[in-house]
Amino acid sequence: MPARTDESADGEDHLVVCHLDELLIARGMTLVELAARSGITVANLSVLKNDRARAIRFTTLTAICRALDCEPGDLLSLRPRHQP
């Protein structure tokens, strides 16, 4: 098995992208509404929305997906390594 490379060495913390903005727009929902429906704070949702999260709990992911009626793959995706 090849050794893991340190993504932060080239300036990237992770390759996961959050599509919360697109999902909110598609559903005509605000971040405040999502917070009320999911039980996740606006501050935590904002961290996710702005791709500043370093991790997400399954309970948080489940709550957001239930509130948005979506699957985890609709909310998160991997950015190809060569894209900024």
Burial class (CB in 10 A: 0-12, 13-18, 19+), 34: buried
DSSP 10-72: GT-S--EEE-HHHHHHHHT--HHHHHHHH---HHHHHHHHTT--S---HHHHHHHHHHHT--H
pLDDT, tens digit, 9 for 90 and up, residues 14-71: 689 999 999 999 999 999 999 999 999 999 999 999 999 999 999 999 999 999 999 9
* The predicted structure's pLDDT at residue 8: 45
Q: Is this prediction's pTM over 0.85? A: no
Ordered by where they begin, the domains of the chain are 15-78 (1.10.260.40)
* The predicted structure's pLDDT at residue 14: 67
> What confidence tier does 84 reach under pLDDT thresholds 50, 70, 90?
low
Q: Which residue has the higher pLDDT, 80 or 72?
A: 72
